[in-house]
Amino acid sequence: MVPRRHGTEQAAGAADTGGSAARAARTSAAAVRRGCAAVVRAAADRRAWRAGLRRLRPHYPRPGRRGPRRWVPSARQTLLVLCWVLLLLAGLIGYGYQRTRIPADLNAFATQQDNVYYWADGTEMARVGPVDRQSMPLDRIPSSVQWAVLAAENASFYSDSGISVKGIARAVTDMATGGDTQGGSTITQQYVKNVYLNQNQTLSRKLTEMFIAVKLDRKISKQEILDGYLNTSWFGRGAYGVQRAAKAYYGKDVSQLNASEGAFLATLLKGAGLYDPAVSPANHERAVQRWNWVLDRMVKIGRLPAAERATYTVFPEPKAPPRPAGLSGQTGYLVDTARAYVSAHSGISDAEFDRGGYQIYTTFERPRVDALSAAVTQQLGGLHPADRPADRDVRVGAASVGTDGRILALYGGPDYVTQGFDDANIGIVPVGTAFAPFVYAAGLRDGVLLTRDAPRAPITPDTVYDGDDKVAVQTPEGPYWSRDGKIVRTVNDGHHSWGRISLQKAVAFSVNGPVVQLGMDVGLDRVRRASIDAGLLPDSGFGPQTPDFSLGTATPSPIRMAGAYATFAADGTHTAPYSVLRITRDGERLPLQSPVVTHPFTPAVAADVNAALTTAPDRAGTAGTAPGNKSAWYVGYTHQVSTSVALFRIDPKTQQLEPLTGITGHRPHENTGSTYPAAIWNHYVAAAS
- Residue boundaries of the structural domains of the chain: 55-62+77-99, 130-309
Residues linked to residue 115 through DSSP beta bridges, in sequence order: 128
Helix axis angle for 524-534 and 512-522, nearest 10°, is: 100
Rounded alpha-carbon distances, angstroms, from residue 145 to 9, 157, 230: 108, 15, 10
pLDDT at 504: 97
Q: What percent of the chain has pLDDT over 90?
A: 53
Peptide bond into 318 cis (omega under 30): no
Q: Mean pLDDT throughout 176-184?
A: 49
Beta bridge mates, 478: 475
Characterize 111-133 residue by residue with b for buried, 16 or more Cβ atoms within 10 angstroms of its Cβ, and e for exposed. ebbebbbbbbeeeebbbbbbbbb
Read off the pLDDT of each residue in 164-190 and give the average, rounded to a whole number.
62
Neighbours of 561 (CB within 10 A): 32
CATH of 130-309, one of 3.40.605.10, 3.40.50.620, 3.40.50.300, 1.10.3810.10: 1.10.3810.10
pLDDT value of position 11: 43
Distances (CA, A) of 619 to 84, 240, 375, 622, 685: 73, 50, 18, 10, 10
Q: What is the pLDDT of residue 179?
A: 47
pLDDT reported for residue 285? 94
Please state which of the ranges 91-100, 144-153, 287-296, 623-632 shows the lowest mean pLDDT. Answer: 91-100
Pick 452 or 308 by higher pLDDT. 308
Average pLDDT over residues 553-581: 97
Output 382 or 167, whichever has higher pLDDT. Answer: 382
Average of per-residue pLDDT across 593-604: 97
Per the CB < 8 A criterion, the answer to whether 469 and 629 are in contact is: no
Mean pLDDT of 619-631: 90
* Angle, helices 259-268/242-250, rounded to nearest 10 degrees: 110
**What confidence tier does 65 reach under pLDDT thresholds 50, 70, 90?**
low
Q: Is 35 exposed, middle or buried, given 0-12, 13-18 or 19+ CB atoms closer than 10 A? A: exposed
pLDDT confidence bin for 7, thresholds 50/70/90? very low
d(CA 13, CA 522): 131
| Pairing label, strands 464-466, 500-502 | antiparallel
Lowest mean per-residue pLDDT among 234-243, 463-472, 531-540: 234-243
* Residue-level pLDDT at 576: 97
Banded pLDDT at 59 (limits 50, 70, 90): low
Q: Check whether 362 has a pLDDT greater than 90.
A: yes
CB atoms within 10 A of CB 29: 10
Q: Report yes or no: 432 and 632 within 8 Å, Cβ to Cβ.
A: yes
Predicted local confidence at residue 565, as pLDDT: 98
91: burial class by Cβ within 10 Å (0-12, 13-18, 19+)?
A: exposed
- In the predicted model, is pLDDT for residue 14 greater than 50? no
Which one, of 65, 47, 43, lies nearest residue 55 by Cα?
Answer: 47
| Whole-number pLDDT of residue 107 | 53
DSSP letter, residue 448: B
Average pLDDT over residues 384-398: 90
More confident residue, 8 or 480: 480
| pLDDT value, residue 4 | 44
Q: Can you tell me the mean pLDDT for 223-248?
A: 88
Question: 154-165 burial by CB neighbour count: b if 16+ within 10 A, else e?
Answer: bbebeebebbbe
What does the DSSP assignment read for 486-546? -B-B---GGG----EEEHHHHHHTT-HHHHHHHHHHH-HHHHHHHHHHHT--TTS-----S
